[in-house]
Amino acid sequence: MTDLVLRPLADAFMQVGVYVAVMVAFFGWLRWRYGDGVTSALTRRPRLGPLVGALLGVTPGCGGAIILMPLYARGRVSFGTVVGALVATMGDSSWVVLAWNPLFALQLHVLLFVVGLVTGYVVDALGIDPARTARPAGWGTGVVARSGTGVAAGSARVPQPASPACCGPTRAAGRGGPAGTAAAADLHWGALLPRVPASTAFWGLTTPAFAVSVPVVFQLVDPTALTRTLGGLDPYLALGVLGTLTAALIFAAGRGRLADETLETAQPRSVGATLRHSAHEASFVTVWVAVAYLGWQLVTGVTGFDGSQLALAGLAGVLVGALVGLIPGCAVQIVFTGLYTSGGLPLPTLVANAISQDGDALIPLAALRRRSAVTATVITTVPALAVGAALLVLL
């Protein structure tokens, strides 16, 4: 029971969840502190669009890429900027490889950045922009601007779109606006812990779990010696299982949509909001990693299947990885990446999936410019197949 169920649950939190929480909080703080400066510089220097798009996209999570979507819809950045960001992003599955192997994650993200950069400039050089014909003359230049009742001439700047319009009906119904975000952030644990918000409980577990995980995961201490010191209690297993269960409660309370980022969470307005969102996103990732770990352990433990029998190698694997990347959102991609860290996928298949997937950023783009979203997600499969096939030859 312990090795089959409890250990995978603990590993999901101790090997991934705690590091995801810390890194999401760090990058959220960076977005809170510097996000406006990055986007302002981007609109002032449009030729740097694909470069900045790839830089924003390659940052872990979806927030960097999401920032670009309303800018593109208003004609402030090019379609190549958007494509570059979507190619470079791994969405929330970035956290899985970062927690598993930081050096490998760095190498993978450098590759994603380069591919995103090249793809973005190629798209702009070819003049591809499905939304061009939908924009009136002078759009995004200060000559034409949208107002609440229509189109007004002579405006100095284009107002920001309202959050529900940007991010679609699922955002408005879930945590698409400030009210939804606050409601999700202040979820309580009912009668069991009536005064403890779920995000506070999550960080209360994450702090000691991080202190235990670092020496255990990096083999700085002997886990059995640590267990003997605590009188037979395994802190890694106990904190890990509790952490995953806490993440599951947060995940369930948010109906599985807690990691979907919006303009508000992509550019948080306070450190407190950043910490609350970090707990929710880390919980989302932890739950899906736990699904991957637990599923893989059950399959290998019951059937003896260890991944070597998978028909996901070779060109077929690259094709499958690229096609899985077409699925919007991060949940499936997290599970797919978790299979790689468990030894179930070859590297070319992972790379094809990483390039093809668009994370949560595709969803607000689809709400703003549906045709552009479809074109972008199709375009991202081209470099995914090319790079995946190249790795097959090189490796």
Tens of each residue's pLDDT in the chain, 395 residues: 667 788 888 888 887 788 778 777 776 776 677 655 655 665 677 688 899 899 988 988 777 787 788 778 878 889 999 999 999 999 878 888 887 888 999 999 999 999 999 999 999 999 999 877 555 444 444 333 333 333 333 333 333 443 333 333 333 333 344 334 434 444 444 434 444 577 788 888 888 998 888 888 666 777 787 788 777 888 888 999 999 999 888 888 877 654 445 555 555 567 677 778 778 878 877 887 788 778 777 777 777 655 545 556 789 889 989 998 888 777 778 888 888 887 778 899 999 999 999 877 787 788 778 899 999 999 999 999 999 999 999 97
Phi and psi based region of residue 129 (left: phi greater than 0; alpha: psi -120 to 50; beta: remaining): beta
Number of domains in the chain: 1
Q: Which pTM was predicted?
A: 0.62
The residue among 23, 9, 20, 18 whose CA lies nearest residue 213 is: 18
- What does the alpha-carbon distance between residue 109 and residue 115 come to, in Å, rounded to a whole number? 10
* Residue pair 108/351 in contact by the 8 Å Cβ criterion: yes
Domain extent, residue 335, equals 2-394
Structure tokens belonging to residue 46: 């449009």
Cα-only R_g, the chain: 22
The residue among 26, 59, 13, 80 whose CA lies nearest residue 359 is: 59
